[in-house]
Amino acid sequence: MNREEAWRLLCEWTQSESLRKHMLAVEAAMRAYARRFGEDEEKWGITGLLHDMDYERHPSPQEHPRVGVAELERLGYPEDVRRAILSHADYLDVPRETLMEKTLYAVDELSGFITAVALMRPDRLEGLRAKSVRKKMKQKSFAAGVSREDIVRGAEELGVDLNEHIEFVAAALRERAEELGLAPERTRR
């Protein structure tokens, strides 16, 4: 299991540039939390990278993420990676028990929401603070597909303050802003 192989697999399964960027954002947040918690950064990053690999082909709750996890099992990915991916989908009722499982759940929706907020700002992620993100969370019509309840529940399950969690994830995404298409407008090529 290595990052290069995981990226090739993701690209085989996912053509959508925006979905690929979402998975890259979740990877960035997972790697940052792995460093913070003293965990295996490569394993956590790959888990974040592959968590939605089957979503484009199999978006229904009957299939996602089961189809992708079955492929990961066939390819010999570790059980803890597969279980974390399964546990990020509330509708599967796979309890989140490990720190990696709780972290994946906590960063998934939040990464998407922070990306949506950043795309509305000329400076993108630069200077983005929790206060701005929380304000947008109150606007039900903004990024309506993102569950605010999941964002709040994720921070609670992880045992982190929501504002600190938002700022931590935003900082993780900022480290890869160029790759995520979230560099400030004045610096983009």
Q: What is the pLDDT of residues 86-129, one digit of tens each?
A: 999 999 999 999 999 999 999 999 999 999 999 999 999 999 99
Mean pLDDT, the chain, integer: 96
In this prediction, residue 65 carries a pLDDT of 98
Q: Is the pTM of this model over 0.85?
A: yes
For the chain of 189 residues, list the mean pLDDT of each consecutive stretch of 10: 96 98 98 98 98 98 98 98 97 96 98 97 96 97 96 98 98 97 76
Q: What is the pLDDT of residue 187?
A: 53
Q: What is the CATH number of domain 3-183?
A: 1.10.3210
Q: What pLDDT score was predicted for residue 160?
A: 98
Please give the Cα distance from 84 to 51 (Å, whole number). Answer: 8
Extract long-range pairs of 143-146: CB within 8 Å, 24+ residues apart: 143/112, 143/113, 143/116, 143/117, 146/109, 146/112, 146/113, 146/116
* Domain ranges, ordered by start, for the chain: 3-183
Residue 49, helix vs strand vs coil:
helix
What is the separation, in whole angstroms, between the first and last Cα of the chain? 33
Question: Which pair of tokens denotes residue 7?
Answer: 């990226």
85 C-beta neighbours (distance < 10 Å), count: 27
Asked whether the beta carbons of 45 and 34 are under 8 A apart, the reply is: yes
pLDDT of residue 1: 82
CA distances from 45 to 130, 138, 159, 188 (A): 23, 30, 20, 25
